[in-house]
Chains A and B, each alone.
Chain A
Amino acid sequence: MSSANVLMPQQATILDITEETPDIKTLRVVGKEGMPFDFMPGQCAMLSVPPVGEAIFSITSSPTCRECLEFSIKDVGNVSGALHGLQPGQQIGIRGPYGNGFPIEKMKGKDILFIGGGIGLAPLRSLIGYCFAHREEFGHIDIVYGARSPADLIRKSEVRESWAAEPDTSVYLTVDAEFPDWNGHVGFVPNYVSELAFKPEGRIALTCGPPIMIKFVLQALDKLQFSPEQVITTLEMRMKCGVGKCGRCNLGSVYVCKDGPVFSLDELNALPSEY
Chain B
Amino acid sequence: MPRTGVFICHCGTNIAGTVDIDKTVEASRNFPGVVHADEYRYLCSEMGQDIITKAIKENDLDRVVVGTCSPRMHENTFRKAAAEAGLNPYLLEVANIREHCSWVHKDMEEATPKAIALLRAAAAKAALNEALEAPRLDVEKRALVIGGGIAGIQAALDIAEAGYEVDIVEKDPSIGGRMAQLEKTFPTLDCSACILTPKMVEAAQHPNINLLTYSEVDEVKGFVGQFDVKIRQKARYVDPVKCTGCGICWEKCPSKAPSEFEMGLSKRKSIYVPFAQAVPMVPVIDRDSCLYFRKGRCQICEKECPPQAIDYEQQDEIIERRYGAIVVATGFDQLDPTIYGEYGYGQHPDILTGLEFERIFNASGPTGGKVVKLSDGKPPKKVVFIQCIGSRDKARGMNYCSKICCMYTAKQAILLKEKVPDAKSYVFYIDVRTGGKGYEEFQRRAAEEHDVAYMRGQVGKIFPEDDHLVVRGIDSLTNRNIEIKADMVVLAAATVARGDAPELGRLVGINSDSYHFFNEAHPKLKPVETHTAGIFIAGACQAPKDIPETVSQASAAAVKAIGLLSKEKLQGEACTAEVIQSDCSGCLNCEAICPYTAITPVEIEERYKDGVLKRTVAEVNPALCQGCGSCAVTCRSGSINLKGFSNDQIMAEVDAICLQR
Q: Please list the residues of chain A having a beta carbon within 8 angstroms of any beta carbon in chain B.
A: 85-87
Contacts and interface: CB of A to CB of B under 8 A. Distances in A.
Contacts of B1: 85-87
A87 B1 CA distance: 7
Contacts of A87: 1
A86 B1 CA distance: 6
B660 to A, nearest CB: 14
Nearest to A84: B1
3 contacts: A85-B1, A86-B1, A87-B1
A-side interface mostly: loop
Nearest to B2: A85
Interface in B525-542: none
A36 B618 CA distance: 50
Interface residues of B, number: 1
Interface of B: 1
Nearest to A87: B1
B44 to A, nearest CB: 32
A233 to B, nearest CB: 24
B52 to A, nearest CB: 24
B2 to A, nearest CB: 9
Nearest to B659: A51
A68 B238 CA distance: 93
A207 B15 CA distance: 63
B190 to A, nearest CB: 73
A17 to B, nearest CB: 11
Nearest to B33: A85
B28 to A, nearest CB: 19
Nearest to B127: A85
A75 to B, nearest CB: 14
B131 to A, nearest CB: 16
Contacts of A86: 1
Contacts of A85: 1
A85 B4 CA distance: 14
Nearest to B655: A51
3 tightest A-B CB contacts, nearest first: A85-B1, A87-B1, A86-B1
A85 B1 CA distance: 5
Nearest to A51: B659
Nearest to A86: B1
A89 to B, nearest CB: 11
A87 B2 CA distance: 10
A50 to B, nearest CB: 13
B4 to A, nearest CB: 13
A242 to B, nearest CB: 27
B3 to A, nearest CB: 10
A81 to B, nearest CB: 11
A220 B479 CA distance: 110
A87 to B, nearest CB: 6
A41 to B, nearest CB: 32
A32 B188 CA distance: 93
Nearest to A85: B1
A240 to B, nearest CB: 23
Nearest to A90: B1
A98 B87 CA distance: 44
A141 B1 CA distance: 40
A85 B33 CA distance: 10
A271 B1 CA distance: 43
A48 to B, nearest CB: 17
A145 B506 CA distance: 63
A85 B127 CA distance: 11
A39 to B, nearest CB: 29
B628 to A, nearest CB: 30
B61 to A, nearest CB: 16
A22 to B, nearest CB: 16
A87 B35 CA distance: 13
A191 B174 CA distance: 80
B648 to A, nearest CB: 11
A82 to B, nearest CB: 10
B77 to A, nearest CB: 30
A111 B128 CA distance: 49
A80 B366 CA distance: 85
A194 to B, nearest CB: 26
